[in-house]
Amino acid sequence: MNILLVGGGSRIADAVIDKFNKGKHRVFLLTGRRDRQNSYRHVFERYDYSYEDESVKDIFESVKPDMVIFMGAYDTNFDWHRERQESVRYTATVMNLLSTYSLAGKGRFVYLSSHEVFGGAYHNDVAVSESVSPRGFKAMAIAQGEEICDNYHKTQGMDVQILRFDHLYGIPHKGQEDSNPCFQMCLEALKTGRISASDRRSFSMLYVNDAVELAYKTMIEEHPARSCYQISSMEEIKEISLAELVIKAMGGGIRLANHSVGEQYRFILDGKLYEEEYGQRIFVSYEEGVLQIVKYMKRHADSFINAEDTDGSTAGRVWRGVKTAFKRLFPFIENLVCFIPFFLLNSKAAGSEYFNRLDFFLLYVLLFAIVYGQQQAIFSSLLAVAGYFLQQMYGRTGFEVLLDYDIYIWMAQLFIIGMVVGYMRDQLQFVKDENEEEVRYLSRKVDDIADINDSNVRMKQSFETQLVNQRDSLGKIYEITSSLEAYAPEEVLFYASKVLGELMDSRDVAVYTVANGDYARLFSFTSTEAKKLGNSIKYTEMEDLYHDLREHRVYINKKLDEKLPLMASAVYTEDSMELILMIWGIPWQRMTLSEANRLTIIGALIQNAVVHANRYLDALTSERYLEQTRIMSADAFGQLTRAFFGAKESGLTECVMLEIMTKDCRQAAETLGVNMRQTDYMGVLEDGGFYILLSNTDAENAEGVMERFRNAGYECRLREGAAL
């Protein structure tokens, strides 16, 4: 499915992405902000646009999601310190997403809600049918989101699902705030060295990873029984007990402040309806979850303490207020400072023959009207009038100045010119700002269109590559693996490694056959690097590799352990492991889910060829072996030796053949059989001689086998390529 996840970066968003990726779904992400600093693993395509952007519609049309998951109550794009403003934006976001998605007419919309829609205490567990009673703007916004989703479900028939979680807690992102009780207690302990708690308060909490595991079951359910589920651990814990767990995990030095006052408070969501329908298992206990959070927050204590203090301290608020006030008062201060030189210039010009007709006060008003606009023009005009009156009173009384008609004419001219010029400046600035905003808007639209187009081009190229590229094409994979059927049954496994290397674009590939429950024997390889584990391995001791192979999964060497292959897969016949395919030479960029899926398909197709060859050989058992012995007939042994030495010439295996000096091959086979491996063969050839073929053995290692045969009473010698 195509999954469109809508929400900012958080632990729960990361967990949702990982879970759907493991389920082999394609996850697209709408982050809700232009923030390209955060990186997200396993995201097929990422869109950094705000929810109000018109490009959201284009994104929905481009992705065509089968499911939209809105993080809702856990979306970190909303700053709930400003609850009133954010509640409006939150509700508008829910409406915008639902209305946009409703145009698609298919798929499911999942809304993640929270226990916060219920306010107050409840004696019994809160049932899903209980009417919501939010307290505060955030809770009301989340509850309104639920109501909007429910209305779309009822009126338009949309497949809308509401998942209401109970007190989620988990390891936070570094420096990111959270509201769950565990985080708040850890933060208080780091800041003050004490934790305040009450034994009258109790609730239940659910670890983030457990919540996502449980929610995933309902999300992928094709026909869920209801549109709203409450997901809760239903494991009650007292606030003071949680504080004790935090103190224990902190390792001492933290004081517990018991504030057990007031009425009893109990709040637990009832998740029995979910449990009855899907079953429920909680993997992370309170002790384990608290320990993980405490370890992380102690390791990154500076990021949490500094971030909180900077944003909310009194000193920080005062400093920001001072900066804002200074920024607003600066034009007035500048106006007052500039008034002084203009006042002095006007005083000097009054008695000058050349400058007495120059009005410096008018120039002063015009200057600030042009630079700052109408507001400063009025302020500068007032200062100019005051200065002019002061100068006129040097030679006349104040009463005479007030009766001077020319002064009022000059004042009117000054105010009119200043206000008109200031108004024109403000209008020009308004037009300029509008034009710049329009240019920015159009530029963003162009960038958005370009980003969406690039995304579409990348997806188009990816799909084209899957269809056309020889290595990715399923048709091509089938064509190449089908070529194994052209080889003789004895040669199939040798050339399986060559085919595997060609399809996986790797020069270092090995095929091991499982000899028994614990050991695997090297059968064929394409390079010296591919056989670095040796001819025989105890694969059950390779814990990570064995665990994945046992679960029928492709092993990916994420730790880049040099002692293990980079990728490996097992081929099963029914429930029995037959082959282990190992790939050593592959770039780490290609150690992806896509490559793992390809290896699984190739392994299944190789299995078909191997099973076909084995069935053919089993059907000819009576013709291939001498009666009641393990000795192969001349024809069968001749074909086998030609296959082995042909593969040896191609660099796919190592082998030697020993000629046993005896006339009674049956007796020799019975005696020497106990000294042979399961992957070795013995048989007769047309010349009547008795031979033993040692697989994955060179001449040097064959000396030890020859010595054992001599000790058993049989002379032998090397016959390189004797059967060819």
Whether pLDDT at 722 is above 50: no
Q: Is residue 419 part of a domain?
A: yes
Whether pLDDT at 623 is above 90: no
Task: Give dist(CA 668, CA 657) in Å, integer.
Answer: 16
Domain end call among 165, 197, 225: 165
Query: Which pLDDT score, from 0 to 100, does residue 47 have?
Result: 87
**539 vs 309: which has the higher pLDDT:** 539
Residues 6+ apart with CB under 8 A from 467: 473
Domain end call among 140, 165, 190: 165
Report how many domains make up the chain: 4
User: pLDDT for 150-205, tens place per residue?
Assistant: 998 888 888 899 999 999 999 888 777 888 889 989 988 888 888 888 888 899 99
Q: Is residue 266 part of a domain?
A: no
Query: Which pLDDT score, from 0 to 100, does residue 313 have?
Result: 46
Whether pLDDT at 70 is above 90: yes
**409 vs 515: which has the higher pLDDT:** 409
Task: Give dist(CA 582, CA 247) in Å, integer.
Answer: 48
**For the domain that residue 709 is a member of, what is the CATH number?**
3.30.70.270
Whether pLDDT at 109 is above 90: yes
Query: Which pLDDT score, from 0 to 100, does residue 307 have?
Result: 43
Whether pLDDT at 433 is above 70: yes
Q: Is residue 445 part of a domain?
A: no
Same domain flag for 9 and 128 = yes
Same domain flag for 139 and 27 = yes
Query: Which pLDDT score, from 0 to 100, does residue 309 have?
Result: 45
**Helix, strand or coil, per DSSP, at residue 694:** strand
Query: Which pLDDT score, from 0 to 100, does residue 476 have?
Result: 53
Same domain flag for 138 and 68 = yes
Task: Note down the domain range covering 375.
Answer: 316-440
Same domain flag for 549 and 579 = yes
**513 vs 352: which has the higher pLDDT:** 513
Confidence of residue 261 (pLDDT cuts 50, 70, 90): low
The runs of H, that is alpha helices, within 129-264 are: 137-155, 181-192, 208-220, 239-250
- HEC secondary structure over 605-662: HHHHHHHHHHHHHHHCHHHHECCCCCEECHHHHHHHHHHHHHHHHCCCCCEEEEEECC
Query: Which pLDDT score, from 0 to 100, does residue 102 have?
Result: 85
Task: Give dist(CA 581, CA 606) in Å, integer.
Answer: 10
Q: Is residue 120 part of a domain?
A: yes
Percent of the chain with pLDDT over 90: 14
Burial of 383 by CB count in 10 Å (0-12 exposed, 13-18 middle, 19+ buried)? Answer: buried
Same domain flag for 7 and 37 = yes
Same domain flag for 644 and 594 = no
Q: Answer yes or no: are the C-beta atoms of 702 and 693 closer than 8 Å.
A: no
Residues 6+ apart with CB under 8 A from 280: 214, 271, 274
Report the pLDDT averaged over residues 695-723: 79
Pairing of strands 67-70, 631-632: unpaired
Confidence of residue 112 (pLDDT cuts 50, 70, 90): very high
The runs of H, that is alpha helices, within 393-404 are: 398-402
Q: Is residue 259 part of a domain?
A: no
Same domain flag for 612 and 662 = no
Query: Which pLDDT score, from 0 to 100, does residue 308 have?
Result: 41
Instruction: Round the average pLDDT of the chain to a whole number and report it.
Output: 81
Alpha carbons within 13 angstroms on the beta-carbon side of residue 690 total 18
Least confident of 255-269, 581-595, 621-635: 621-635
**650 vs 293: which has the higher pLDDT:** 293
Longest Cα pair distance anywhere in the chain, in angstroms? Answer: 150
Distance of alpha carbon 550 from its chain centroid, rounded? 27
Query: Which pLDDT score, from 0 to 100, does residue 335 have?
Result: 82
Task: Give dist(CA 649, CA 25) in Å, integer.
Answer: 44
Whether pLDDT at 475 is above 80: no
Whether pLDDT at 380 is above 50: yes
Same domain flag for 611 and 513 = yes
User: pLDDT for 71-102, tens place per residue?
Assistant: 999 998 888 888 888 888 999 999 999 988 88
User: pLDDT for 668-695, tens place per residue?
Assistant: 888 887 778 777 888 888 877 888 888 7
**37 vs 606: which has the higher pLDDT:** 606
Select from 371, 60, 214, 397 the least CA-distant residue to 380.
Answer: 371
**For the domain that residue 592 is a member of, what is the CATH number?**
3.30.450.40
Please, what sign has the CA dihedral across residues 163, 164, 166, 172? positive
Q: CA dihedral defined by 82, 83, 85, 89, rounded to 10 degrees?
A: 120
Same domain flag for 644 and 706 = yes
**Helix, strand or coil, per DSSP, at residue 209:** helix
Q: Which helix (H) or strand (E) holds 326?
A: helix 314-349
Same domain flag for 14 and 142 = yes
**Helix, strand or coil, per DSSP, at residue 230:** strand
Same domain flag for 527 and 651 = no
Q: Quick one: angle between helices 301-312 and 314-349, nearest 10?
A: 50
User: pLDDT for 31-56, tens place per residue?
Assistant: 887 765 566 777 888 888 888 888 88
Q: Is residue 235 part of a domain?
A: no
Sheet holding 67-70, edge to edge: 45-47, 26-30, 2-6, 67-70, 108-114, 159-165, 228-231
Domain end call among 619, 638, 669: 619
Q: Is residue 412 part of a domain?
A: yes
Confidence of residue 532 (pLDDT cuts 50, 70, 90): confident
**Helix, strand or coil, per DSSP, at residue 195:** strand
Report the pLDDT averaged over residues 486-499: 66
Whether pLDDT at 314 is above 60: no
Query: Which pLDDT score, from 0 to 100, does residue 395 have?
Result: 66
User: pLDDT for 582-592, tens place per residue?
Assistant: 988 777 767 77
Q: Is residue 360 part of a domain?
A: yes
**For the domain that residue 55 is a member of, what is the CATH number?**
3.40.50.720
Same domain flag for 596 and 636 = no
